Structure 1
Amino acid sequence: MDVSESLKSLYTAPIEQADGTHQITVPEREIAAGTLAEGETYRIALISTDSDTDTTEPDPDHELDHTEHQLEYDGPPVTEGEHRDVEIKHLVDQGDGIAKVEHGYVVIVPNTNVGDCVTVEIQQVRENVAFAAVVDHTL
């Protein structure tokens, strides 16, 4: 998967309607981490989670209070070369798997399916997303 070096952030947020407009709320942790700055303009891309390949339901009990964690933030929870056991929860339109680790940090894993439990090697780490390759499918 080719991802532009200009990718600043990757997170999940609902689209909300208010006064005839639609809004996407930026999580406070994105500002606290210095990834995005208030008052700046950014280009965004939206990836639907309503595809046929996404068979998971949101878990309302699993939502994190990000304001509680924003002061503790000291960078991504993964490092390049690290091996992690993850479960693929979603697929993006291009077919790459999405797993989440601590604090909702996103790991993108090509050649996986929803429900796969795999061991991955973290290959590239960015402030809000990492890219990994499968090293073992037998979890």
Structure 2
Amino acid sequence: MEFLDSLLCMFTSRVKSRNGSYTLEIPEQEIDVGSLEEGKRYKVALFEAGEVGSAEDTGSNASGFTSQPSGTQQRPDKSPELDQPPVDEGEIREVEIEDIGEKGDGIARIPPGYVVFVEKTSPGDRVRIKITEARDNFAFAEVVGQV
């Protein structure tokens, strides 16, 4: 899909009826540590959960750094549902740290914008990480090696 190069974030949400309108909730971390800013306007595309292929299929993140090199563990199905994290606990990935979070942890993004907090890292670090906790919209990881 052509829009993946400009994709800022991706998450699963349910359409809810509220006072004669329909709304989608944006996870708080997309504003706190993601690429979205409150008050800005964005184009939104909706897909039924499970219809959109994983951005992992492209093999690289927005910076062009390979996020799933050969020889590392990956999801057996290689096509996760949108309502599940794109990583599993214990999974090994190679990432580039893009930013620093509020608590000083490095922030990496696994396509298509899934946030991973990595302690003891700095922007620009390229590291091999092990996912220690995977939640719906973000994960925690530890460094297991340098790239």
Q: TM-score, normalised by structure 2?
A: 0.51
List per-residue Cα deviations over 1:18-72 (Å, max 9, x = no partner): xxxxxxxxx884314x9xx6659999576478xxxxxxxxxxxxxx975358543
Structure 2 gap segments, 5+ residues each: 1-7, 35-42, 52-81
Amino acid at match of 1:102: P
After superposing on structure 2, the runs of 4+ consecutive aligned residues of structure 1 that deviate more than 6 Å are 40-43
State the partner residue of 1:107: 116
Q: Give the conservation status (yes or no) of the 8 Å contact 2:132–2:142.
A: yes
Q: Which of 104, 109, 120 pairs up with 2:129?
A: 120
**SS state at 1:67 partner:** coil
Post-superposition shift, 1:124?
Answer: 0.4
Structure 1 gap segments, 5+ residues each: 1-12, 14-26, 50-63
User: Considering only aligned residues, what root-mean-square deviation do their CA atoms show, in Å?
Assistant: 3.7
Relative distance call for 1:103 and 1:65 in structure 2 (3 A) is farther
Amino acid at match of 2:145: D
Relative distance call for 1:74 and 1:28 in structure 2 (3 A) is closer
**SS state at 1:30 partner:** coil
State the partner residue of 1:131: 140
Give 1:77-96 correspondences, 5 Å limit. Answer: 77-96=86-105
Q: Size of the alignment, in residue pairs?
A: 96
CA distance in 2, matches of 1:69, 1:103: 16
List per-residue Cα deviations over 1:62-110 (Å, max 9, x = no partner): xx97535854325111001110000000101321011001211111101
**SS state at 2:85 partner:** coil
**SS state at 2:95 partner:** strand
Q: Give the conservation status (yes or no) of the 8 Å contact 1:29–1:70.
A: no
Q: Give the conservation status (yes or no) of the 8 Å contact 2:115–2:137.
A: yes
Amino acid at match of 1:113: S
Amino acid at match of 1:67: L
Q: TM-score, normalised by structure 1?
A: 0.54
Confirm or deny that 1:67 pairs with 2:46: yes
Relative distance call for 1:100 and 1:65 in structure 2 (3 A) is farther
CA distance in 2, matches of 1:68, 1:120: 30
CA distance in 2, matches of 1:98, 1:47: 12
